Structure formats: C-alpha cells, structure tokens
Amino acid sequence: MNKLKPIYSFIVILILMVIIGSISFANVSARDNPQEISPVSRGAQIYDDWTSVVSDAAIPVGNHPIWSRQSNNTISGIDTWRCVVCHGWDYQGIDGAFRSGSYSTGFPGLLEASTKDQSTLVQALDGSSDAQHNFTSMLSDDEIESVTAFIQTGLIDDNEYIDIVTRKVTGGNFANGKEKYEQVCSSCHGDDGTLATFRYEGTEVSLGTLAVQDPWRFLHRTRFGTARAPEMPLGYELGWTAEDGRDVVYYVQSSLPTGFEVPTNEPMEIEPVDNLGGPAQNWFSGIVTAFGAMATSLGFAILLGALFVGIILVLVWLLRSRRA
C-alpha cells in the first residue's frame, strides 16, 4: 500500500494542475468576451453604435428629437441616434473633422465635457439637462455610466495626432506601429490589410483605404474596437496608449495599399531597326546626298523662275492688248 502512495500523490497533483489550467483558460476566454470588457471600452462602443452593443435594445422610430435643430446633415432614421454622428470620431463636433461637409451638424464636441463629474454627465444623457436628449428608454443605468466613464477617461485630442486638413498622422513611430500591427492586427487583416474589408461610404474598402480617408474612425476603433466585430482585440484593453494607436494608424497609412496609389508605367523597350534613310553613313553616300540636295534646290529654283517669267509674259500681253 505504501508503494502506491507516490502514484496516488502524482495523480492528485496532475488533476490539480488540470483544474488550475482550466480555470486560467476560462479567465483568458472571459477577457476576450466582449461582455467582460472595461466600462470605458464598452462606453466607447456604445458611443460608436449602441444599437449593435446593447442587447434587446429598444430601437426608436424616426429621427432623434434634436436632429431638427440642424439642417445640413441629411441622414435620417436610427443613425441620427448614434452619439458619433453628432459629436464626431474625433469627439470635437463642430470644431473637428465634422466642422464642414455633409457630415457637419453644428453640434458641440465632448472634450470639454471630459472634465465634468459623473453626475453632470448622467444628467446630460437622462434628459435632466435637455428633455430631448434622453437615452434612458434605450440604455440602462450601467450603460449610461459606461458612456460617462468613456467621456471622462477615454477621450483624446485627435488634433495632437492627426492633421485635420491632410488627414495624415503627425509624429508617428513607424517601428512601433509595425510591431503592434504584426502582433495584433495582421492575423485577421492580413499583412497588407486587404484580408478583411469594410463597408464605407457605400463601398467595400480595405484597412489602408479607411486609414487615409477616415483616420479618426480608424484610431477610435483601433483603441476600442467595434460591436460589429466582437472578436477584435481592443488596444485599450491591451494596455496601448493613445500614441500606440496613433502609431498603428501611421504604419497603415505609410505602408499598406490604400487604393489611391499612382500607377507607374514601365518604360517601353524600343527595338533597334535598320537605318532606312537619314544622315549619310560613309563619304560616298554623303557626296550622293549632297548632289541630290543641290539638284532638288536647283529644280525648285528653275520652277520658281519659270513661274515668274510666265507671270511677266501674261502682264506684257495684257498691256499690249489694251493699247491695241
């Protein structure tokens, strides 16, 4: 019996290791589950499109009540209820990328609101501050608090990272962006960003195209993901800084195909041909060419002289005819 104790002990230890490993694996899976992300990231996804995030959400009919306060943006329906449509992917509303163009609404940004306390922000979302800006019938108290956590903690000033006119990243770290893209993004998007496409402005575009056309949206979703792709790793949850997200956008803008590349035409190869004319190739042909040129010139001179003589004769004949 004593001889079997080491075997029993080994079996018990093995079973414990399997149990501990299973628990650890379950914890990793839970972190990958979009329902277990931090309130900041969940609030960011609600800001993007709460209709795709909130389960069993009560989808309103018609435009948002405050949509009639503007007349420039012509979209309608459920999209008018998305936070990002009014306040922008750069969180700056009328002062940011949505300051002009078809997306402009004239509504304010949220950067100043990030300094407000949670109670003030909740009042801005539950209708207390503005009765028409009430989301309590669609979002739970926890979801509203997630939005306030995002506003207080997740907002960044995109003007520090993206030129608002050229849409190009400024001050990016290419090596850092390349490293993070290859570690986290390339497995789904491919090395060149074309493995997965997106619906943008009515067309399917690749990652590179989105990065140059709408870098603010790209940066937001690089940091916080999107409910439309719940399996997507979130930079914020991976501990990425805002600068890390900027660097990924910079790498994609700089290296991946965008669809706007100017094609380069290969130079045409010209095959040599036998000389069928042109300058003389030796002294004999040079003499012949010279005489030919002289003969041509002489013939032209004779022809021109004959023409003048003919004209003179005609004039003399006309004058004599009149005298007669």
Class of domain 158-259: mainly alpha
- Residues of the chain below pLDDT 50: 1, 4, 10, 12, 14, 16, 18-35
Distance CA 223, CA 240 (A): 8
Q: Note the pLDDT of residue 284.
A: 61
Record the tokens describing residue 181, joined without a space: 């893209």
Q: Note the pLDDT of residue 95.
A: 95
Q: Is 220 exposed, middle or buried (0-12, 13-18, 19+ CB in 10 A)?
A: buried
Q: Which of 299, 274, 301, 279 is nearest to 289 (CA)?
A: 279
Q: Note the pLDDT of residue 58.
A: 86
Domain boundaries, the chain: 20-155, 158-259
Q: Note the pLDDT of residue 280.
A: 55
Q: Note the pLDDT of residue 293.
A: 62
Q: Note the pLDDT of residue 282.
A: 63
